[in-house]
Amino acid sequence: MANKTPTPHIGAKYGEIAETMIMAGDPLRAQFMAEKYLTDIVQFNNVRGMLGYTGYYKGTRVSTMGHGMGMPSIGLYTYELFNFYDVKTIIRVGSAGSFHPDLHVGDLLIAQAACTDSNYGAQFELPGTFAPIADFDLTRRAADTCDRLGYHYKVGNVLSSDLFYDDHPENEKWIKMGVLGVEMEAAALYMNAARAGKKALTICTISDHLLTGELSTSEERQKTFTHMMDVALSLI
């Protein structure tokens, strides 16, 4: 395993990344988490500007890193982390658009499972349709933390879409099936975790509402969506 690192996309040597990794699409959010929450931080990656750091949270070693946008990007990074760096758990903290009338900007969405319009799963050549799901223990403990801290949240199904700008959006069809919101990465993360025999969870902050038109700014998404970070760090 060690002779495969550094990888083409991660400059760290084997052992420089913790067994638990918290990832964000925006590498500046990963930097923000490291600087705000961790002690004794060391930067292990800057390849293609995808910042990564390892430090300690209340005495426990943990890493943070960006994963970029979309399933091809998170699929690439999490594959290398799971398979070449022996990362055991990846928790994604990201943003999502709400489909639910009671999930507003700033609320949390814990992705128990992820539907997708992507062809990412075709590589596994399964004789049917795979259902990408989160680790149950992480999901349960994340919900318990939200209850304890008084954070407004929902647990359920998300849509991991390949499209941010969809020429023919059909959100109402996903809403009819009880899907709570849309993001762009959870399904690939969950499939990679399943294939590698590892653990994964996605915790999203609602950044906009596709029914009411509520919106947040890019600065708010980068620096004020901290409740999901509190929840993620409680799981390490």
Gyration radius (Cα) of the chain, Å: 17
- Looking only at the bridges linking them, the beta strands covering 153-160 and 181-183 are parallel
Q: From its phi and psi, is residue 125 left (phi > 0), alpha (psi between -120 and 50) or beta?
A: left
Has 86 been annotated as catalytic?
Answer: no
Q: How many CA atoms lie within 13 A of 195 on its CB side?
A: 21
Report the C-alpha gap between 113 and 213 in whole angstroms. 25
CA angle 111, 112, 115 (to 5 degrees): 75
Residues in the chain, how many? 236
Report the C-alpha gap between 85 and 79 in whole angstroms. 9
Q: Are the C-beta atoms of residues 234 and 228 closer than 8 Å to each other?
A: no
Catalytic residue among 26, 107, 135, 208: 208
**Catalytic residue numbers?**
208
